[in-house]
Structure 1
Amino acid sequence: MATFLESLPAELITDILGELDMESLIRISYLSRRLRDIVSDPSLNPWRRPILRELHSGTYSDTLKHLSVRQTVPRQNWIEILSLASPNFILHEATLPNLRASEWDECFSRRFLPGWRNWVSSDTGKASFTKALSRIWHRSRTTCTSDEAWTRYITLNRNGSANELEGWFWLLVYGCLNNNTVFEASSRTFSPTAIFNEYKLQNDLTHLETRIRLVVQLQDVRILALGTLNSPRSTLTVNPNAHSFLHPPGITNLDGYIEPPRNPRAVTDHGVYPLSPDSPHYPRVSLPSLDYEHMIHPLPAKSHANYPWYTPGGEDKRWLGSGEVEEEGLKWVGGLLIVAQLITPKTRERVEDRVPLQDLDLVLGPGRSQYASFVWDDLWAIAPWMEERITQKIDGPGLGI
């Protein structure tokens, strides 16, 4: 049997070995010199498929825990293991390999939001990765916020601008300031729903239901957006950027399909939320191109593996309507608040009598009260097409110029 297997081309042998489990693959590597060379060849790498199967299953074998001691396992596999495995496994169970500083930096970029480098600004390589992962593991199990006293978040305004706010939300009503109301929101008591409810009160939107959408889920955090839907009588309250953030221009809920661009002089967002050029919300900057790429830095979870394209399976619920409108023919109005919610051991538990991964189910219940900062660099990583659409970036409160 071994002689027949060795007579096959190396690529075909690799494809066959990829169907084995890791323990069997280790045994195969001892049968002959040629099989050992194939198993340890980084360009062939039959380890990738069995490793990914085990990572996606969530159950880790002893073989995976101590895989770093095997000389036949190409070190490149550890970039995926460190990017996808649970924090508890990496920190407390696995025997970590010796990687170059550049490889640890690649693991950091794939696993974490870029803004989280502020947590480990003085560290590099392995130290920065393990330090950030330790903080994530600690914060997902406790209410400790000593490393981040104030939580940052971003709001997309209907006038095309956006604000990055830290620790408090200065509510400014367009055209009518209401005594510069300040809403306190330290990391320990941070509640995006409370902040957004106050925003609705100041902007006369309390009659509209708060809609919450899961934009994308990473390994340790998921990005949520809070906004309101309505059937506006005019375009003055419509927020084109809210729709563009949730639905990348030109992409539909058909996996891999991109609509052809339309005439930019007649519409904005390539057909979404059509406005005339005379509208005050018509963009004065060039529209983004349709040259999308799968997001790698950071790497999305399996439920959003195709992001920014649609990922089948039932968890990618950004498209609840069709075309230019949401469900029931509504449009996004007012501001859109974007936050980063830490994933805890209880976050994925379903709350009874609610539609999973939609609206209040995303923020109410056990394991849904821990948040981390979401800053400009994180927004460009999650939605790079928004960098051209936002007319003005404002650090702190204010309407801009």
Structure 2
Amino acid sequence: MEKKSRTLAFTMTTTFESLPVELIAEILSELDLASLIEVSYLSRRLRFIASDSSLNPWRRPIIRNLYNLDYENCLKHLSVRTIVPRQNWIEVLSLATPSFLLFDATLPNLRAVEWEECFRRRFLPGWTKWKKDSSWREAFLKVLHRVWHRSHTSCTTDESWTKYVVLNRNGSANELEGSSRSFNPLVIFNEMKLQSNLAHLETRVRLVVEFPDVRIIALGVLNRPKTQFTVNANARAFLHPPGIEAVDNILTGSSDGNDSVESDNNTQPPNTLPDRLYFPVNQTSQAGYDRLTYPLPSHSYRDYPFYTPGGSDKRWMGSGALEEEGMQWVGGLMLTTQIIGSHTRETIADGPPLQEMDIVTGAGRNQYASFSWQDLLVIAPWMQERVSKIIYGPGLGN
């Protein structure tokens, strides 16, 4: 009986290894990391397939770990295994949590150009100011530690002034700054409302896009204006890129033709997502937009600026030029960067998640970083043609 079992196992292994290498790599990519490590050492052919950077069966199990935020123990020291192609660590360094990279993982030896790629895919472009004369590896780890430190403490010694951008209703934009020690977007925006005679209206908050370490939020006011003179057309254009609609994007997606029809309340589990959701690439849609890759959005905003199904992307809360209940954005729209901490994503039990005050009130929502005009042009490049004037500092720029 034992002899028959060994013969059967040998036959099955021989049959499996006789398959085309592309099919074997596809099968291996469905394994978890621990199993893939074991299988890759069973034979020379399997080792060759596993170590081939063009086949790369490690991609899917690694990304499943990163998107599920439930890391297998073997991921910590995966970089010491020469059988794993180095390109996978660009994704790990771009998407993994700061605490995992700083305190748990064994980091790989990458070239300077690869560390630069990791930096630009993870952080806002305005954060390159921290590089100065250091190497890209040093800059990446230094900024990553700053983010982790600020997400766990109220320390602001590394950034005394926090920048933010205001889109004005006259078409211009101001890049302003406030003291980081007392920076509170609600307080600042309430002062803006008072100056614009809008203090009687409710403050509305929108989560625009989320990255591994930070998320961009917008504060504005909705109203039914009697005239169009108070309407902020750029606020609507920033939150809802012209030519993109939530329903249309679910049905048609981008031009790669790999999207399936999904509803707003159902998200495919990470292990069944198509490859384009694992590694977003710049693909031009019919509306003339590119999917954002630098920096790389988190999984819940993977299709930004297009609509991302799953329930987290709540930018579209109306139709046409109107928001919910037929209202419009009036006055200025304030844009700032919120640092993501361990409690930031927790929702208020008795309120709607990921919208309005739930975004800026509660534990883990009181740390902010600079958001500059440069950052705005990266996450919303279509605004460059819509903004008539950029003003650095307060005033009208006269």
The superposition leaves residues 106-128 of structure 1 with CA deviations (integer Å, 9 ceiling, x where unpaired) of: 10111110101112323222101
Assess if the C-alpha contact under 8 Å between 1:251 and 1:258 holds in 2: no
Letter paired with 1:252: E
Q: 1:372 aligns with which of 354, 369, 373?
A: 369
Cα distance, 1:99 vs structure 2: 0.2
Specify the alignment match of 1:147 in structure 2. Answer: 158
Describe the SS at the equivalent of 2:173. Answer: strand
Q: Which runs of 5+ in 2 are unaligned?
A: 1-11, 254-285
Alignment of 1:217-256 (within 5 A): 217-254=210-247, 255=249
Letter paired with 2:287: L
1:68 aligns with 2:79: yes
Q: 1:360 aligns with which of 341, 357, 360?
A: 357
Residues in 1 aligned to 2:293 and 2:135: alpha-carbon distance in whole angstroms:
20
Cα distance, 1:352 vs structure 2: 2.7
Assess if the C-alpha contact under 8 Å between 1:215 and 1:318 holds in 2: yes
Specify the alignment match of 2:268 in structure 1. Answer: none
Specify the alignment match of 1:348 in structure 2. Answer: 345
Alignment of 1:143-292 (within 5 A): 143-167=154-178, 186-254=179-247, 255=249, 290-292=287-289
Specify the alignment match of 1:177 in structure 2. Answer: none
Specify the alignment match of 2:63 in structure 1. Answer: 52
Describe the SS at the equivalent of 2:216. Answer: strand
Describe the SS at the equivalent of 1:393. Answer: strand
Specify the alignment match of 1:339 in structure 2. Answer: 336
Letter paired with 2:381: P
Assess if the C-alpha contact under 8 Å between 2:208 and 2:216 holds in 1: yes
Assess if the C-alpha contact under 8 Å between 2:29 and 2:60 holds in 1: yes
Aligned residues: 354
Describe the SS at the equivalent of 1:26. Answer: helix
Specify the alignment match of 1:80 in structure 2. Answer: 91
Assess if the C-alpha contact under 8 Å between 2:102 and 2:145 holds in 1: yes
Cα distance, 1:257 vs structure 2: 6.5
Q: 1:99 aligns with which of 104, 110, 113?
A: 110
The superposition leaves residues 266-298 of structure 1 with CA deviations (integer Å, 9 ceiling, x where unpaired) of: xxxxxxxxxxxxxxxxxxxxxxx9311111101
Residues in 1 aligned to 2:13 and 2:132: alpha-carbon distance in whole angstroms:
52
Assess if the C-alpha contact under 8 Å between 1:252 and 1:258 holds in 2: no
The superposition leaves residues 340-368 of structure 1 with CA deviations (integer Å, 9 ceiling, x where unpaired) of: 00001011111232111111111111110
Letter paired with 1:74: P
Cα distance, 1:256 vs structure 2: 5.3
Assess if the C-alpha contact under 8 Å between 1:100 and 1:125 holds in 2: no
Cα distance, 1:371 vs structure 2: 0.1
Assess if the C-alpha contact under 8 Å between 2:205 and 2:355 holds in 1: yes
Cα distance, 1:258 vs structure 2: 8.2
Assess if the C-alpha contact under 8 Å between 2:207 and 2:218 holds in 1: yes
When residues 58 and 166 of structure 1 are mapped into structure 2, their CA distance, relative to the original with a 3 A threshold, is same
Assess if the C-alpha contact under 8 Å between 2:175 and 2:391 holds in 1: yes
Residues in 1 aligned to 2:27 and 2:327: alpha-carbon distance in whole angstroms:
51
When residues 81 and 393 of structure 1 are mapped into structure 2, their CA distance, relative to the original with a 3 A threshold, is same
Specify the alignment match of 1:313 in structure 2. Answer: 310
The superposition leaves residues 178-229 of structure 1 with CA deviations (integer Å, 9 ceiling, x where unpaired) of: xxxxxxxx11110000000011111110111100000001000000000001
Letter paired with 2:140: F
RMSD after superposition = 1.3
Q: Which runs of 5+ in 1 are unaligned?
A: 168-185, 260-288
Residues in 2 aligned to 1:256 and 1:364: alpha-carbon distance in whole angstroms:
31
Assess if the C-alpha contact under 8 Å between 2:112 and 2:135 holds in 1: yes
Assess if the C-alpha contact under 8 Å between 1:250 and 1:258 holds in 2: no
Letter paired with 2:48: D
The superposition leaves residues 49-68 of structure 1 with CA deviations (integer Å, 9 ceiling, x where unpaired) of: 00011111112122100000
Describe the SS at the equivalent of 1:249. Answer: coil
Describe the SS at the equivalent of 1:151. Answer: strand
The superposition leaves residues 235-285 of structure 1 with CA deviations (integer Å, 9 ceiling, x where unpaired) of: 1001110000000110001225689xxxxxxxxxxxxxxxxxxxxxxxxxx
State, as a whole percentage, how many aligned pairs show the same letter: 62
The superposition leaves residues 28-60 of structure 1 with CA deviations (integer Å, 9 ceiling, x where unpaired) of: 111221111110001110000000111111121
Cα distance, 1:317 vs structure 2: 0.4
Question: Normalised by the size of structure 1, how large is the TM-score?
Answer: 0.86
Specify the alignment match of 2:36 in structure 1. Answer: 25
Specify the alignment match of 1:89 in structure 2. Answer: 100
Describe the SS at the equivalent of 2:116. Answer: helix
Residues in 2 aligned to 1:217 and 1:27: alpha-carbon distance in whole angstroms:
36
Letter paired with 1:209: E
Residues in 2 aligned to 1:387 and 1:139: alpha-carbon distance in whole angstroms:
31
Specify the alignment match of 1:381 in structure 2. Answer: 378
Cα distance, 1:74 vs structure 2: 0.3
1:42 aligns with 2:53: yes
Letter paired with 2:39: I
Assess if the C-alpha contact under 8 Å between 2:216 and 2:337 holds in 1: yes
Letter paired with 1:395: Y
Residues in 1 aligned to 2:100 and 2:132: alpha-carbon distance in whole angstroms:
25
